[in-house]
Amino acid sequence: MTRKTFMGVRLRRLRAERGMSQIAMAQALGLSPSYLNQLEQNQRPLTVAVLLKISRTLGVDVQEFSEDQEARLVAALQEALMDAPEPVTLPELRELAVQMPAVARALVRLHQKNLEIAERVETMALQVGDDRSEMVVPRAMPFELVRDFFFAHQNHFDGLDRAAEALATEAGGRGAHLVGWLVQRLKRQHGVRVVHSDDVQELKRRYDVGRKTLYLSEVLEPGQQAFQLGTQLALIESGDAIDGLIAVPPFDTDAAAQRLARIGLANYFAGALVLPYGEFLQAAESLHYDIDLLGQRFGVGFETVCHRLSTLQRLGAPGVPFFFVRVDRAGNISKRQSATHFHFSRTGGTCPLWNVYEAFGQPDRILPQLARMPDGRTYLWIARSVSRGRHGYGSPRKTFSIGLGCDIRHAPRLVYAKGLDLSDPDLATPIGMGCKVCERERCPQRAFPFIGKPLDVDENRSRFSPYGSE
């Protein structure tokens, strides 16, 4: 805890759930009844020592009292209440998340249920030809459901991670060096033949079930080949474990989302196989999270290293909790993973002041940035553009910007913090999650008004015009 945390309502709820009197709970925690009473009345902040006592004595997960959980809930509340008839300020949302998290979660669930009802109304309206369906909130896309699923698990699946690590130990290798072993395992254990083909350039990998043949793009680098081979092996050998993870709503009623989740988890397994947890974390710490050096050591690309870094949250042996994002020049986010509290908004795009966009103009350079969000939290972000595809003349290539960020309290562990004055609050660039959900009224790059505040339509003062320039 980096600031004073008052959680009286949550303590009282916890005591009520256990059926304990204030005196009984004080005795169990080794506290005086008067001190516990002060904690419950928010007259004293909850200290780390007391929190640990609560965790040990009552078996409560420390995460229930963490700032990360609070930040996640605040972000979810912002989206749930963005269309509220009366604007709700960020301090009010934070107070609700801290003091009455059950109420906050109920509001978020009601919002989600409202979206589900709207989807059903839309479907019925389309069936009867009612044009009012245009007024209904659009249905969540399958990839959005999968993103939420990974976010809810903090981008870490311990069972799959350990199974992949055990397989890497059996192979006696990691990274690009696994290619030969994986080809042989697929052939000997499962009768699958691996063929390099020019017909699967964009797909990278195609599996012919009938012929038991795996076709790989011939332009893949060794590290990419290992990843694709690992993905196919995961679908064959860990299919039951993957199916068990996705045997939950909404995947039980959305076949498209289920297929995407299955591929996503197979990719997760492949990343954990190519970059096994223990060895990779040790290397990351010893190299101060230098992405280029990690890529060289394991024979994989920049994006693969960044993606794996965002998954290192094993209980008892966590790495730096990173947030990972991949965007294109138009601002479309094609990948986003968060190991902790950082929340990528679904509304209003992203922030043009974010260094992920500057990276397009400086190819192959890693750009560090200290960025401060509207809630006061500061992060260290690094960004670099990456390109892939054919190299022939006139052939278009895919270009993305990869962003990797962490809370500033973890920044000293990263090589990218060198030369940055982490204690200077003016050094951080004020950014947001998107104009429509950002409260910074004086931002020079604001494209849309904050949805929590009525639009200023005074013809003499308004910054936003539907036609022409501002």
* Distance in angstroms (rounded) separating the CA atoms of residues 149 and 447: 30
Q: Tens digits of per-residue pLDDT, 273-331?
A: 999 999 999 999 999 999 999 999 999 999 999 999 999 999 889 999 999 999 998 88
pLDDT given at position 4: 53
CA dist 54 to 19, 376, 403, Å?
15, 29, 37
Listed ranges 28-37, 58-67, 153-162, 342-351; the one with the highest mean pLDDT: 153-162
Would you say 332 and 350 are in contact if contact means Cβ atoms under 8 Å apart?
no
Q: What is the 3-state secondary structure (H, E, C) of 71-120?
A: HHHHHHHHHHCCCCCCCCCHHHHHHHHHHCHHHHHHHHHHHHHHHHHHHH
Q: Rounded distance, CA 242 to CA 163, Å? A: 12
CA distance 308 to 151: 15
Q: Are 197 and 215 in contact (CB under 8 A)?
A: yes
Which amino acid, 254?
D
CATH top-level class of 323-437: alpha beta
pLDDT one-digit tens code per residue, 70-127: 777 777 787 788 777 777 887 888 778 777 878 888 888 888 778 777 666 655 655 5
Amino acid at 348: G
Mean pLDDT of the chain: 82
Quick one: which of 380, 161, 162, 424 has its CA closest to 289?
380
pLDDT digits (tens, 9 = 90+) for 389-404: 666 666 777 899 999 9
Q: Determine the residue type at 283.
A: A
Write the pLDDT tens digit of every residue in 113-150. 787 776 666 556 555 555 444 444 455 678 878 888 88
- Closest to 414 (Cα-Cα) out of 326, 327, 286, 256: 286
Domain regions of the chain by residue span? 8-103, 158-317, 323-437
The Cα–Cα gap between 235 and 257 comes to 16
Contact 338, 332 (CB under 8 A): no
Total Cβ atoms within 10 A of residue 435: 22
CA pair distance 469, 177, nearest whole angstrom: 56
- Provide CB contacts within 8 A for 447, sequence distance 6+: 349, 352, 435
Give the pLDDT of residue 282: 97
Pick the residue with more confidence: 459 or 280? 280
Q: Could you give the count of Cα atoms lying within 13 Å of 279 in the half-sphere of its Cβ?
A: 19
Phi then psi for residue 429, to 5 deg, are -80, 125
Topology, domain 8-103: 434 Repressor (Amino-terminal Domain) (1.10.260)
Give the pair of three-digit tokens for residue 222: 């060794």
Between residues 62 and 101, the one the model is more confident about: 101
Percent of the chain with pLDDT over 70: 81
Cα pseudo-dihedral 428, 312, 268, 400, rounded to 10: 20
Q: What is the pLDDT of residue 223?
A: 94
Q: How confident is the model at residue 158 (pLDDT cuts 50, 70, 90)?
A: very high
pLDDT at 1: 41
CB 181 within 8 A of CB 165: no
How confident is the model at residue 238, as a pLDDT? 96
pLDDT at 54 over 90: no
Does 31 or 461 have the greater pLDDT score? 31
| Amino acid at the residue 136 | V
Band the pLDDT of 21: cuts 50, 70, 90.
Answer: confident
Q: Residue 46 has which token pair?
A: 């909850």
Look at residue 337 and tell me whether its pLDDT is greater than 90.
no
Backbone angles phi, psi at 270, to 5 degrees: -65, -40
Q: So what's the pLDDT on residue 470?
A: 43
More confident residue, 304 or 197: 304
Give the pLDDT confidence score for residue 452 in this predicted structure.
57
pLDDT at 80 (0 to 100): 80
Burial of 317 (0-12, 13-18, 19+ CB in 10 A): exposed
